[in-house]
Structure 1
Amino acid sequence: MQIETSNEANLPTQFGDFKIRSFREIKTTHHTTYTLDHLVIKTPEIPDIPLVRVHSECLTGDALLSLKCDCGNELHTALQRIQKEKGILIYLRQEGRGIGLFNKVNAYALQDTGLDTVEANLALGFKDDERDYSIVKFIFDFYKLNKIRLLTNNPSKIEIFKQMIALEREPIITECNAHNAYYLEVKKTKMGHLL
């Protein structure tokens, strides 16, 4: 894995003023090279034990404010808390739990026929979660982090990141709605999310 880092820039938002930096991950798989441009959004000052959210891209939830998932609400909640409590949000370009936007839309179509989020991914030939978090260790090291307060409900993220850094888990709870209640129930019962 080859990684390039951008310069740091200011990002004023409705949640407050942040600093941003992009981390370009250059990967080669099956003789194909591709890049993923990840983003770190951080407060100007980082405490000794910062609040950290590792958030995977969800175009439909984050940008289009879809009600089918809790991603956009989690992103906004994380930015509000990080602004207040100081820390870092790592925004990973891993749409659809790593299957990409095209396949995610196909998974949505299968969900429209009655499959849940896990069943839809499996029906398309994917695992329930295809994400790769290897760049996160590089980012932790880049910012010289030794311990974090990890903002997550996902037990697999806790186990993966415990191998990279000392951490305490902080829950991230958002309101459910009629469109995502079943999705959240599947995350809890099938994927073990701490909801």
Structure 2
Amino acid sequence: MNIIQSNIANLPTKHGNFKIKAYTQDNQEHLAIMSEDFENIQIPYVRVHSECLTGDALGSLKCDCQNQLNLSLDFIAKEGGLVIYHRQEGRNIGLLNKVNAYCLQDKGRNTIEANLELGFKEDERNYKIVKHIFNDLNIKKIKLITNNPHKIDYINSIGVEIVERIPAVTEVNEHNIDYLNTKKDQMGHML
């Protein structure tokens, strides 16, 4: 596993001031977004946020991704901790396939059915880089901001102790209700 990492830089944002560090693995670039006081926090709040260009950058109402990211950045800026921006678009099927999955969803498939119809598993993500980032930043215990039981299982499997889980619950709308119900009913998300 060949990983390249950047130096730490400052990033002032509308959410607050952060420190950032980039990591590259398998031609995917990921970002650690740390509160300014991160180095002084013994048990940081952490969000592993999976990239969603359509939600994060374009404000898509089909998901809750941008709302979860904004909620997490605001929380981390205030309480201290880390957001790992995990760049595996569309549950790691890529942007082109994600748009094709959207097309299938427009025809009545849910997110799982669309991925399966395109020849993928329901979730193709892997979290190897998360372990590297935790090791690099010397993180042993966290307060995890998530609804996803698979992220909890992975973090437990790498020996990082989750001392608390903070829900990342945001607004439901007419465009994302089926998506959220699929995550809850078929993927076990704690919504």
Q: The TM-score by the shorter chain falls in which range?
A: over 0.9
Which of the residues 24, 49, 59 maps onto 1:65? Answer: 59
Deviation track 1:162-187 (CA, whole Å, cap 9, x = no partner) reads 11200132111101111001110111
Indicate yes or no: 2:53 matched with 1:17.
no
Percent identical:
57
Indicate yes or no: 2:179 matched with 1:183.
yes
Indicate yes or no: 2:37 matched with 1:45.
yes
Indicate yes or no: 2:8 matched with 1:3.
no
Structure 2 distance, partners of 1:95, 1:145, is 25
Indicate yes or no: 2:125 matched with 1:136.
no
Query: TM-score, length-normalised on structure 1?
Result: 0.94
Structure 2 distance, partners of 1:39, 1:155, is 22
User: Is there any run of 5+ residues in structure 2 with no aligned partner, and where?
Assistant: none
Structure 2 distance, partners of 1:8, 1:157, is 25
Structure 2 distance, partners of 1:49, 1:17, is 20
Structure 2 distance, partners of 1:89, 1:116, is 28
Find the counterpart in structure 1 of residue 156 from structure 2.
162
Find the counterpart in structure 2 of residue 31 from structure 1.
none
State the one-letter code of the partner of 1:182.
D
- How many corresponding residue pairs? 187
State the one-letter code of the partner of 1:17.
N
User: Is there any run of 5+ residues in structure 1 with no aligned partner, and where?
Assistant: 28-34
Q: SS where residue 190 of structure 1 aligns?
A: helix
Deviation track 1:61-91 (CA, whole Å, cap 9, x = no partner) reads 0000000000000000000111111000000
Hey, which bits of structure 1, 4+ residues long, moved more than 4 A? none
State the one-letter code of the partner of 1:9.
A
Greater strand fraction, Structure 1 or Structure 2:
1
Note the aligned Cα RMSD (angstroms). Answer: 0.7
